[in-house]
Every structure is written in structure tokens, then in C-alpha cells.
Amino acid sequence: MKLKTMRAVDYWIGVPLCFLCTQIVRLLGRPKGPEKPQRVLFMELSEMGSAVIAHPAIAKAKSALGAEIFFLIFERNAESARLLDTVPEANIVTIRDTGLFPLAIDSLRFLRWARKAKIDTVLDLELFSRYSALLTGLSGARRRVGFYRFHAEGLYRGEMMTHRVSYNGHIHIAKDFVCMVNALLAAKPEVPYSKTHVSDEEIRVPIRHVPESEKEELRGLVRQVYPEYRPERHRIVLINPNSSEMLPQRRWPKENFVALASMVVREYEDALVLITGSKSEREEALRMQDSIGHARVRSFAGMHKLQGLIPLYNISAVLVTNDSGPGHFSAIAPIRSIVLFGPETPRLYGSLGNTEAITAELSCSPCVTAANQKNSACDDPVCMRMITPERVMESVRGVLNSRASV
């Protein structure tokens, strides 16, 4: 389903449904269930990178609550929930968003499953989505945690949360997620939740161990696009020129990626530049490869599944990416990532790993917030164009000059 359609449905259908379901939830009263959370569902549907960002909150729920953890996500993003093995495969629940009919059918199936699975606690990690609020309110869970607008205008989504957390747009979103878990740990009811301090140490993510066999498998795929590749002789530089269709303003101009790749192979004779992406982005990556016309710049788009990203990051030296999923996935690998920000800010959405964020810091940035449902009116992302290839090359140079082959 297209993003524009999803937003329209969320507003025109979501608002009246939230009002109606609020009355139903009030009429039914608080559902029965255990006094303490035992079966906890995290709901993060639309953002692939958020599966990594949510890890600190999930880990705290497991350790502090001793609860069994479940995770609900859109089917197209489900692979991202498997990258860290935080949630058992059997506990990952998916919903299709390929159209209104599949969405409605799977939503009803989820509500039936939530009761059958005896989910007693739901944490809605979505930023003021009415759809997720409806799923949370109707889940039958005794405890329902989510962001609440309080005195802020707009973004009405009913009164279905038992633990209303104040969204803080001045701290990293990973800390906001941890605050949701803290709300469940509060000794007494609070307005708003959660009156706690979340330190930077609480939002660290672990580096995932990658067996040598998986690394060698990726090296074999690299040789398919560049037969001369030798790990002891070449250092891999990854560039990711893509980003989600949800916010095309996040994309650094393609000609800048072309210029950057050309600089890298011209300055470093041992550098191999791989253009990453999905299968659907393969043709575009090949066109970029052809436009550069250098033997050590190759398209790697569509060469592996999402699970192959982490081994790829383990055999590579540096990643340059738009503000998108790969920047967050790289946090669970030792690779140095350079993430380019414009409409959003690294203060809220920066990678939790070994990363450097580059942003022009214009007065209009960030223009995408929870208050506008990440729906920017900008039709000319100057903030991305102002980040020059020369500036990014400085950061790439700093990485390559400090390390040998991987």
C-alpha cells in the first residue's frame, strides 16, 4: 500500500474508529490478566531500522520484567526483526500491508491471536499511529503502553492506553522506547509516564557474532561481481544511495554518490566500492556503476538477503548511507558507518553503533517530526545537497587511513 494511501486511511478512517473504540474499551473496562507483565508484545510496524533501535527496550523488558517477548511488524519488514535474535522466531507476528483487504484480514487475525496467546502487555512503539493504537486498544491486554499527546494539538488517537507516555522529541527515540518499559516498572501511577532518567549506556546495542563461514560466503558473492577481489589486498567501501519511499527527501543526490565513489577509487588503489541495495534497486545500481565506469566500482544490489547485510558489514571497512535502515543495521557490526542526515536529526534517530552523522544543520531541519507524522512539505531538500562529496570523502579518508584490509 502506498504511503499516501496509508496516511489517508489512518486519518479519515482511523480518527472515527479511535473515537468509537475508545467508548468500547471504556465500556468493557480493564481486561483481566496477571498483576505483573508476563507476555509482552512490542509493536513496531513500519520502520525497519526501529527493530534495532528498539533492542535496548526489549532487552530491559526481558531482564527487568522477566517476561516472554513478542514482536509485531509488517510482513515486508519482518527480516529486520530477526537480525539480532532478540525475539524468538516463533514470537514474531506479521501483518500484510499490501492492500486494504489483506490489512483488514490480518488485523482481525492479530486481535484473535493476541487473546489466544494471552498477551497481557502491549507496548506501541509507533509515533502516534492511529492504526497501531486501535490494535493496542482492542488487543485485550491488561496493560497498554503508548505515546500520548496530552496538551499537544492534533494527532488524536483515542484514549485506549493504560500507561500514557509523554513523547520527548529532544532525546533519542531509543530512550523514549526505554521509557515505555520504565512506565511498567513505576511503583505508582504517573501523569505522564515516565519520570525516569535514561542514560546513554542504556541504549547500547550488542555487536552480533558472525561465523567465519558466513563471512566467506559474502566474500564469494563479492568475487561474483569483482573476480579479482582478495580480502588481504582490498578494502571494501559500501555506498547505499537508497532510502525508504516514506521520505524521499532523505536521499543524497545520486550524482554525489557517483562523485564520492570516483574519489575513493582514484585515491585508494586497494579500495573496492560496492553499491548496495535490494533486488528492486539492482537496475539503478547498475546504471550508477556504468556511469562511473571504473573496474573497482561494482553493483552489489540484490546479491543477498537482508540477513547477509551483517556479514557484509563485517568484511567491509566503511559504509556511506542515507538516513535509512542500513545505518541502523550497521550498529550491530564493527563497521564504521557515515550517515547523511537532512529532514531528520541524528540527535533523535542517529545510529546506535560505530557511526558518524553528517548534517548541514539548516534552520529548517529537522522538518520531519512526530507532530507531522513524518510528512514533510519540503519539495527541495537543500539540506541534503549542501552535504558535498568532498566533505563526506574527508570522513571516508579518515577511516581508510586508520585501518588495513578487513
> Mind listing the pLDDT tens digit for each residue in 296-332?
999 999 999 999 999 999 999 999 999 999 999 999 9
**Domain end residue (candidates: 203, 233, 254):** 203
Q: Quick check: 170 and 186 in contact, CB under 8 A?
A: no
Tell me the per-residue pLDDT of 368-392, one tens digit each, with 9 for 90 and over.
Answer: 887 777 777 888 899 999 999 999 9
Structural domain includes residue 406: no
User: What is the structure's pLDDT at 244?
Assistant: 66
Residue 378 lies in a domain: yes
Note whether 76 and 163 are same-domain residues.
yes
CA dihedral 92, 98, 104, 108 (to 10 degrees): -20
- Which contiguous run of DSSP H or E holds residue 179? helix 173-185
**Which residues in the chain land under pLDDT 50?**
none
Q: What is the CATH number of the domain that holds 326?
A: 3.40.50.2000
Instruction: Report if residue 286 sits inside a domain.
Output: yes
| Residues 195 and 244 reside in one and the same domain | no
Q: What are phi and psi of 190, to 5 degrees?
A: -130, 150
Do the Cβ atoms of 69 and 150 come closer than 8 Å? no
User: Which residue among 151, 183, 203 closes a domain?
Assistant: 203
Segment (H or E) for 221: helix 212-225
Residues 304 and 234 in one domain: yes
**Number of domains within the chain:** 2
Per-residue model confidence (pLDDT) at position 33: 85
For 73, residues 6+ apart whose C-beta sits below 8 A from its C-beta are 44, 45, 51, 80, 81, 92, 93, 94, 95
Which among 203, 229, 261 is the end of a domain?
203
Nearest-angstrom CA–CA distance, 134 and 231: 51
Which residues contact residue 35 at a Cβ distance below 8 angstroms, ignoring those fewer than 6 apart? none
Helix (H, G, I), strand (E, B) or coil at 163: strand
Residue in 81, 86, 73 with CA at minimum distance from that of residue 306: 81
Domain identity same for 33 and 177:
yes
Indicate whether 180 and 41 sit together in one domain. Answer: yes
What per-residue confidence (pLDDT) applies to 222?
98
* Integer Cα distance of 144 and 161 in angstroms: 5
Q: Does one domain contain both 233 and 323?
A: yes
Residue 335 lies in a domain: yes
Identify whether residues 372 and 242 lie together within a single domain.
yes
Dihedral in degrees, nearest 10, Cα atoms 186, 192, 196, 200: 130
Give the pLDDT confidence score for residue 373 in this predicted structure.
Answer: 72
Asked if residue 348 is part of any domain, the answer here is yes
Residue 376 has a pLDDT of 79
Q: What is residue 140's predicted lDDT score, i.e. its pLDDT?
A: 95
The answer to whether position 308 is within a domain reads yes
DSSP, collapsed to helix, strand or coil, labels residue 344 as coil
**The pLDDT of residue 263:** 98
Q: Is residue 127 part of a domain?
A: yes
- The confidence score (pLDDT) of residue 322 equals 94
- Quick one: pLDDT at residue 404? 59
Q: What is the dihedral of CA 166, 169, 172, 174, to 10 degrees?
A: 40
Task: Considering only CA atoms, give the Rg of the chain.
Answer: 22
On whether both 233 and 125 belong to a single domain, the answer is no
Answer whether residue 405 is part of any domain.
Answer: no
Which distant-in-sequence residues (6+ apart) come within 8 Å of 211 by Cβ? none
Residues 152 and 18 in one domain: yes
pTM given for the model:
0.93
Do 128 and 273 fall within a single domain? no
- The range of the structural domain enclosing residue 348 comes to 212-400
Does 73 share its domain with 108? yes
Could you tell me if 254 and 308 lie in one domain?
yes
Shortest CA distance to 368 belongs to which of 142, 235, 90, 169?
Answer: 169
